[in-house]
Amino acid sequence: MKTPDIGLLGQPEKEKIWDISHNSPVFPEVSLVSIQAIQEYLALLWHQYQDASRPVKSKILDEIEKNVKMHRKAAIRLMNKPEEPIFARGKGKSVNSYSDKSKALLKAFWEEQGRLGGVRTKASIPIWIDKWDKADMDDLTRFELLSMSESTVERTLKKPKAEFRRRQNTGTKPGTSKVKTLIPIRDLEFEPQEPGHCEIDCVAHCGGSLSGEFIWTLTLTDIKTGITECEALQFKNGFEVQLALHRIEERLPFKIIALYMDNGSEFLNQDVYKRFSLKKMQIDRKDIIKLFRSRPYKKNDQCFVEQKNYTHVRELFGYDRFSGKLMVQLMNNIYRNEWSTLTNFFYPQIRLKSKERIGSKVKRKFHEPKTPFELLKGFLSEEDLKQLEAKAEESNPFTLRKKLKKKLREFSAYNSRSAERLGKYAV
């Protein structure tokens, strides 16, 4: 029986595993020779290499390649350094001390125990682990869980914590599964050639906290022309949404053909579906409005209305918290009058024409800036066009801006007084 070739580290050659990065050797954990000894050995060979002849240099490189398992090119670069090599820990990939199984079990433990912080999770593992009934937890995994430091627990739970915060901070709750199956996913390659294809979304005026009651804004944007209408809601439910959509529809200069929405429960419910999609509910309507939903967790599917959520809602009212029926009436007074006329008749919009990727850059081309009303002119009848042109001529954008600023000041003052009154009763 042939004995295996024992190298410098005192173990069979076939079991050696080496990884060289940043010109600094990374040595295996199981070794009969310390890392410092290997570094001193390489430094000794460096001194011999400097004044050696070509054949001797080749033998030295062979010895390094055999004993240290360093790539020959890496050994040549190391030996040709002008000064004696100093081995410092590089920024290479660190050794993974814990298995993927133990990390997965740590995430499951964190969720089942109530999602505590990293320090509290580390302290609770010895208390909870004996009573945790997990079939796939063996002795090694249990040892690794108990051995993890606070920093390792924090680092392992960083991603699931971020995902949990993102779910908690969103006001979009999943719609009912029954209605979800009735409303198809939109065709993203379809480009409307006429007005009436509208995207809708809701914006929360929660002031940074989704607890309690607060006002929502329903935003509707026409994809073809960019015409946008907003409506404030006291409550976000199917009944309120379908009433708000009906009020917005009465103000639009065209008929709604299709509505594109996300997967929130305020849209995917029986109230909205029956009001706009079922034939038996179309007593006071001539046409059925088609309903389509976006892909789950694909926010950019609603890119047109998502953009207007900022320019038409956030830039107007900011990020403060609003609540109460009177606040809803004040917001709708602004939305339906000055703000609607300004944004649809006097504020030009820049729309993307095409984009092309050239290497690492994206070259974008844009259409000439036009107002939504200018884009709508080609789709209106003569009678409707005359009415809208007359409305545009009668309106003065500077006067509208002054009225808007006055209403916003009154709105802000009332909101401040309401906050003060509520603060008196705070416990």
Q: Name the amino acid, one letter, at 370.
A: K
The answer to whether 25 and 18 are in contact (CB under 8 A) is: yes
Give the β-pairing of 258-261 and 197-205: parallel
Farthest-apart Cα atoms in the chain, separation: 104
Give the β-pairing of 290-293 and 258-261: parallel
Fold of the domain spanning 177-422: Nucleotidyltransferase; domain 5 (3.30.420)
The answer to whether 267 and 218 are in contact (CB under 8 A) is: no
Write out the chain's pLDDT in tens, 427 residues: 444 443 444 444 444 444 444 444 544 444 567 778 888 888 889 999 998 999 999 999 999 998 888 899 999 999 998 888 776 555 554 556 788 889 999 998 888 888 888 888 888 888 888 888 877 788 888 898 999 998 999 999 999 888 877 665 666 666 666 788 888 899 888 889 999 999 999 999 988 788 888 999 999 999 999 999 999 999 888 899 999 999 999 999 999 999 999 988 888 888 888 887 764 455 455 568 889 999 988 888 999 999 999 889 998 998 889 988 999 999 999 999 999 999 999 998 888 888 899 988 999 998 888 899 999 998 988 899 999 999 999 999 999 999 999 999 999 888 887 655 544 433 3
Q: Which 3 state secondary structure label does DSSP give 229?
A: strand
Strand order of the β-sheet with 290-293 is 228-233, 215-222, 197-205, 258-261, 290-293
Which tokens is 285 given?
A: 């309507």
**CA-only gyration radius of the chain, Å:** 34
> What's the confidence (pLDDT) of residue 418?
66
Rounded Cα gap, residues 372 and 312, in angstroms: 13
> Any idea which residue has 């708000």 for tokens?
244
> What's the confidence (pLDDT) of residue 95?
54
Which tokens is 210 given?
A: 């989704």
Using alpha carbons, select from 263, 273, 266 the residue that is nearest to residue 204: 266
> What's the confidence (pLDDT) of residue 296?
85
129 phi and psi angles, rounded to 5 deg: -65, -30
Q: Which 3 state secondary structure label does DSSP give 378?
A: helix
Rounded Cα gap, residues 247 and 249, in angstroms: 5
Which tokens is 58 given?
A: 């080749």
Phi-psi region of 208 (alpha: psi -120 to 50; beta: other; left: phi over 0): left
Query: Over the range 165-204, which residues count as b (16 or more CB within 10 Å of their CB) and which as e?
Result: eeeeeeebeebeeebbeebeebeeeeeeeebbbbbbbbbb
Rounded Cα gap, residues 228 and 372, in angstroms: 9
> What's the confidence (pLDDT) of residue 256?
92
Domain spans of the chain, in order of start: 13-79, 100-169, 177-422
Rounded Cα gap, residues 160 and 142, in angstroms: 21
Rounded Cα gap, residues 196 and 215, in angstroms: 27
The answer to whether 101 and 156 are in contact (CB under 8 A) is: no
Q: What is the pLDDT of residues 297-341, one digit of tens each?
A: 888 899 999 999 988 999 899 888 998 899 999 999 999 999 999
> What's the confidence (pLDDT) of residue 273?
85
| 3-state DSSP percent of the chain in helix, strand and coil, to 5 | 50, 15, 35
The whole model's pTM is what?
0.61
Phi-psi region of 297 (alpha: psi -120 to 50; beta: other; left: phi over 0): left
